[in-house]
Chains A and B, each alone.
Chain A
Amino acid sequence: MKPGASSNIIEMTGVAVGALHDPNTVVVEDVNWTVTAGDFWAVGGRTGSGKSDFLMLAAGLLTPPRGQCRIFGDALPIFEEARLAQRLRLGFVFDGGHLFNNLTIAENVALPLQYHSTAPPAEIAARVEQLLAATELTSWTNSTPGTMGRNWQKRVGLARALALAPEVLLLDNPLGGADARHAAWWLEFLGQLATGHELLPGKRAVTLVVTADDLHPWQHRARQFAVLREGRLEVLAKEKLAAETPNG
């Protein structure tokens, strides 16, 4: 963090969220929301409520049609070359992984390291091995994404996002379509990331924002809750979660 800067990581003031495939369509209006270091947010909402667009905007991948969104204190867009180091403090896991289909799983995970770091190949290979082991993907190392199920592809997306050891991780619906085994793994693993995981330097904790169709599985993991309903973001108190029906 810059000296004297606040611990706010993402700040939205009066933000409207446009849809990815049609930015003229506003899916969420008037968002005032702040994520600070150490938070673990779970943002719920029905399918089509704009969770993915909201999260992409929070990651700086979309620009708001109205309002101001700041990431690490800088207003969007933050894609200038000069802000790259800042940009890499934030990781994003897409719903479905969005993997590169022409690369193997190991190559997918190695790509950000090869592109951004000057580390020798052996060091990169060791880091990739560590990430694949932590996400139980070692047996898929030389497979291509097309040969894996969707749940496993999401894990590759997670391993790839963790490659550069981000301070903040945004995950789009990690439990979407997951069976009980995968769901339990995600809850456990993200819980570890939120308190400090050995994959990150000095076992530092990661600030997390996840979106979900149903907030209940996150009840004992996340620390802050919000729901996207009728085009608005509503922050929920933890004790009110029980009254929330699945799918908002």
Chain B
Amino acid sequence: MQTGIPNAFGESPTRLLRRVPQPKSYTDVLARAVFRLLLVVQGLGAFALITFGVLLKKSRVARPVITPLIRQEIFRSGVKLLPMFLFLALALGLLVIGQTVVILQKIGAFNYLGTVMVVVIVRELGPLLAAALVLARVGTANVIELGTARALGEVEALEALGIDPIHYLVVPRVIGLALGTFALTVYLILGALGSGYLWAFLQDVPILPGDYFRQLAGALRGLDFVLLALKTAAFGGIIAIITCYHGLAQPLRLEDVSRATVRAVAQAVIAFVVLDALFILVYLLA
């Protein structure tokens, strides 16, 4: 077996677990759920470690093949989604400003408009929303593409040619999705902050553009930039790892692909929330 894909031709622990007789009590059900969760975490963790190992070890291998694949992934998970993200940025600015202005008007605290935008859009909603959309548009396609490739024997074909499937299929997606998600989040945030002022202006909020952007600049800290970059790249990495894992790591038949896609999306959303919670902790402790 090539470096890499855990359980590649074997039965997965999750499948083995499914064959165990159904539990009879609530504690059994709970224990089974916890055990299944641990198996998923173990599988994903092992897959992520293998992928990062391959990424580092083979960073100079087969560049003429891998570099165009990375470029293609950046286009697919970044550039191609730009129009949708610009529309979303306009909508997000309206959404946040529309709600905030009503409250701030009541207490006469328009000088907090920038702070609200930074807290809501830069720190939370922007990265989460961008990641969710990339998951929906690119992550699901990943599972289907890789699952179908797996079911049609393309992974075995790569192995027969001495090509590491992790290097060829997963590494470009991890890099492309990490960079693409980061870039799209930046676009989304800039667009939402800009459209926020537009909507505020249309709602006759008495604030000048200079004051609004000064408020934004005042609310932003150096840490925001660092954490934003780390968080969005991590979201992209999570999408790539989870979707590639479900597409590749187990022997799939064509009829298994849709179930694998649903599982991948659910697990990625949970991973986003957990990671986001960790970043909130960092903000609170910093």
Contact = CB atoms under 8 A, between A and B. Distances in A.
Interface string B155-167: 0110111110000
Contact of B159 (A61, A81, A91): A61
Nearest to A170: B160
A59 B3 contact: no
Contact of A98 (B65, B154, B162, B253): B154
Interface in B98-128: none
Chain A facing B: main interface SS: loop
B157 A116 contact: no
Given A79-B3, A112-B161, A114-B62, A98 B156 contact: yes
A87 B162 contact: yes
Interface string A187-224: 00000000000000000000000000000000000000
B1 interface: yes
Interface in B154-201: 154, 156-157, 159-163, 168
Contacts of B11: 22-24
A111 B156 contact: no
B57 to A, nearest CB: 8
B154 A62 contact: no
Given A20-B9, A23-B10, A111-B163, A94 B3 contact: no
Given A77-B1, A79-B1, A115-B65, A98 B153 contact: yes
B251 interface: yes
Interface in A68-127: 77, 79-81, 84, 87-88, 91-92, 94, 96, 98-101, 111-112, 114-116, 121
A21 interface: yes
Contacts of A62: 9
Contacts of B280: none
Interface in B195-210: none
B152 interface: yes
B156 A61 contact: yes
Contacts of A88: 162
A49 interface: no
Contact of B1 (A63, A84, A121): A63
A160 B161 contact: yes
B132 to A, nearest CB: 26
Nearest to A79: B2
B64 A94 contact: no
A56 interface: yes
B160 A61 contact: yes
Contact of B64 (A23, A114, A161): A114
B64, B168, B253 interface centre (most CB from chain A within 10 Å) = B64
A115 B3 contact: no
Contacts of A99: 154, 157
Interface residues of A, number: 34
Contacts, number: 73
A99 B156 CA distance: 10
B163 A101 contact: no
A115 B160 contact: no
A61 B141 CA distance: 28
A96 B156 CA distance: 13
A61 B157 CA distance: 9
Nearest to B62: A115
Contacts of A23: 9-11
Interface in A19-53: 20-24
B191 to A, nearest CB: 32
B162 A84 contact: yes
A111 B65 contact: yes
B163 A115 contact: yes
B152 A101 contact: yes
A92 B62 contact: no
B162 A94 contact: no
A84 B162 CA distance: 7
B137 to A, nearest CB: 18
Contacts of B62: 114-116
B3 A111 contact: no
B157 A100 contact: yes
Contacts of B152: 98, 101
A114 B9 CA distance: 27
Contacts of A161: 160-161
A94 to B, nearest CB: 6
A161 B251 CA distance: 23
Interface of B: 1-3, 9-11, 57, 62, 64-65, 149, 152-154, 156-157, 159-163, 168, 251, 253
Given A94-B153, A111-B163, A112-B161, 19 more contacts: A21-B251, A80-B3, A87-B162, A88-B162, A91-B160, A92-B160, A94-B156, A94-B160, A98-B152, A98-B157, A100-B149, A100-B154, A112-B162, A114-B62, A114-B65, A115-B162, A116-B162, A161-B160, A164-B161
